Amino acid sequence: MPLPKDPIKAEETRGKMREASKKVWADLEYRQRMRELHTGKKQSPESIAKRVAKITGRQRIPRKNCIVCGKEFCRRGKKNETAKFCSFSCKGQWMSKNAVGENGAHWQGGRFTKKCVECNKEFTVDKNEIEKRRFCSFSCHGKWNSKNLVGENNPNWTGGAKDYCEKWTLEFRRRIRAFFDYKCAECGTPENEILLHCHHVYYDKKACCSINENGVYFSNLGIEGHAFTFEIVGDPNKFIALCDNCHKKTSGKKNREYWARHFEEIINNYYLGKSYFTKEEYEKIR
């Protein structure tokens, strides 16, 4: 019952309500009945949700039980509808037991057994590797390549071994290394117990005996069947000292034009077109 607006009448009303309450609670039977009704009684989640919604104006987020540990939890927004776990730890435990094999999201059909084409040893591969993998190890792969990818079967085949010019002697190669101060002209690695390689800039094994009479010279870059279309700038007799690693970079067919032009510019611009000592010059520095 609302109180009167007049303060005096409101105070009189409060007094009457207090007197009525005292009379009611003075009744022992009434007090016992109310005690039995409320003692030990818990509010239901529904009643709590209704009361919270009434006070805050928002619906209470329903709580769920984790399917692993049973702990109550809730998530905000739409995530609460699909959430099953209270933590990443519980999710990991569940997935380690259930999301395996065909039940896994990334399942690709399991592993398959194949035989190595080199040693016939059985090894396993994933489904996405079944067409690619042919060897059980890099060792077997290398052994097979050394037997089969030789000669014309090798993608870097350039027509086989070529006879060197008669001037390509040990003494001549010493003069090339000495000219470049016994350092790799590409990376600067000094010569050690392994001698520097003497590389033919235009891949012509007969370059020592080449004669440039009209000032124009073309090369096929040492590739059999390749047209002599690579025009050389300057003397065709160019050589360069390289370490083993740098020399390996120049061996493929695809980049020969690049390396030939690269070393040509180094020799023409930094060594004035020269790439080795003459016999007389070499004798003076020994």
Give the Cα separation of 286 and 225 in Å (integer). 42
Asked whether residue 252 carries a pLDDT value surpassing 90, the answer given is no
What is the pLDDT averaged over residues 105-119? 74
**pLDDT score recorded for residue 160:** 47
- State which amino acid sits at residue 202: Y
pLDDT grade, residue 286 (50/70/90)? confident
What is the pLDDT averaged over residues 235-246? 90
Cβ contact 111:126 at 8 Å: yes
Cβ contact 239:275 at 8 Å: yes
**Segments making up each domain of the chain, as ranges:** 1-28, 64-94, 111-148, 170-285
Please report where in the chains the tokens 């037997």 appear, as a residue: 147
Q: Within 13 Å and on the Cβ side, how many CA atoms surround 139?
A: 2
What is the pLDDT averaged over residues 44-68? 68
Distance, C-alpha 143 to centroid of its chain: 28
* Alpha-carbon distances of 200 from 7, 39, 191, rounded to whole Å: 116, 103, 18
Asked whether residue 239 carries a pLDDT value surpassing 80, the answer given is yes
Give the Cα separation of 27 and 154 in Å (integer). 110
Instruction: Give the helix/strand (H/E) hosting 144.
Output: helix 138-148
